[in-house]
Amino acid sequence: MPDIHILTGPPGSGKSSVLTHLAPDFQTVSEPARRVLADQRATGGRGTGDQDPALFVSLMLQQAIEDQQSLRGVSGPAICDRGLPDLLAYTAYWQLPDGAIRTAIAAMPRPQTVFWFPPWQAIYTQDAERTLDFGGSDAFGALVRGAYESLGFSLVEVPLAPIKDRAAFIRQRIGA
């Protein structure tokens, strides 16, 4: 069984930056939402939150399942920017059905650790994919946290610190 660890939290809380810092030493998986958005925009697809939220969630679910399956043969820790439970926040946000996501969560290995990146206004920036203002990001983060907690996950809070210190905290908790 793979040794999977999840980085989660509100958009713009530093997950992707820390993942990039950890990438030379671990198998990593980038955030499905950004990959889906990039693909949909490049191909003129409608699977974005502002055009077709249900399709966007479906495409993210498909990507997340493929990502999890790709980790089955990995030895050592793997670190993912977001996990399947994050998708429950998207369904809550857009008031969409979540049965397919819950089925996928039940079928996948449970992550060893879920690292929570708290909202951090000092580092928050908007970009082409991150269009929420800080308040919206914080509110979405509450949906993410609620999704994990509703599934019985204990979250390990990552301190507000420079990227290298946050990465060191994660390494220490993983034992690598």
| Distance from chain centroid for Cα 152 | 17
Which pLDDT tens digit goes with each residue over 18-55? 999 999 999 999 999 999 999 999 999 999 999 999 99
User: If we measure between CA atoms, which residue out of 70, 83, 65, 92 comes closest to residue 19?
Assistant: 83
Distance linking the first and last C-alpha atoms of the chain: 17
Residue 1 confidence class, pLDDT cut points 50, 70, 90: low
Residue 60: per-residue pLDDT: 97
Neighbours of 43 (CB within 10 A): 9
Structural domains present in the chain: 3-174 (3.40.50.300)
Question: Are residues 151 and 87 in contact, defined by beta-carbon separation less than 8 angstroms?
Answer: no
Q: What is the mean pLDDT of the chain?
A: 93
pTM of structure:
0.93
Give the mean model confidence (pLDDT) for residues 57-82.
Answer: 93
Which pLDDT tens digit goes with each residue over 109-144? 889 999 999 999 998 887 777 778 889 889 999 999
The structure tokens 């949906």 sit at 143
